[in-house]
Amino acid sequence: MKRKLNIGTSRFIEVFCTDESGQGGACHEYHIKKAPTDDSNLPHVFGTVSFQNGPIKDFGINGCHQEDLLAIVIDRLHFFQAGTFSCRENALALTKLEEAMHWLNHRTTDRQAHGVEGANQHRK
CA distances from 4 to 18, 61, 70 (A): 9, 26, 21
Statement to judge: residues 12 and 71 lie in one domain: no
Question: Would you state the pLDDT for residue 38?
Answer: 61
Answer yes or no: are the C-beta atoms of 101 and 67 closer than 8 Å. Answer: yes
Q: 58 with 72, same domain?
A: no
pTM exceeds 0.95: no
Question: Domain residues for 108?
Answer: 66-116
Do residues 50 and 29 make contact, with C-beta atoms less than 8 angstroms apart? Answer: yes
How confident is the prediction along the chain (124 residues), in pLDDT tens digits per residue?
689 998 877 788 899 999 999 878 899 999 999 887 766 666 688 899 999 998 888 899 999 999 999 999 999 999 999 999 899 999 999 999 999 999 999 999 998 898 887 666 666 5
d(CA 38, CA 36): 7
In this predicted structure, what is the pLDDT of residue 93? Answer: 97
| 34 found inside a domain | yes
Coil/strand/helix, residue 107: helix
Residue 60 lies in a domain: yes
> Cα-atom radius of gyration of the chain, to the nearest Å?
18
Report the domain count for the chain. Answer: 2
Whether residues 72 and 98 share a domain: the answer is yes
Same-domain check for residues 11 and 40:
yes
25: left (phi over 0), alpha (psi -120 to 50) or beta: left
- Check whether residue 53 and residue 95 sit in a common domain: no
Residue 105 within a domain:
yes
Q: Which of 65, 52, 49, 47 is nearest to 101 (CA)?
A: 65
- Do 32 and 85 lie in a common domain? no
Domain termination residue (choose one: 48, 64, 80)? 64
| The pLDDT of residue 39 | 63
Say what the pLDDT of residue 115 is.
86
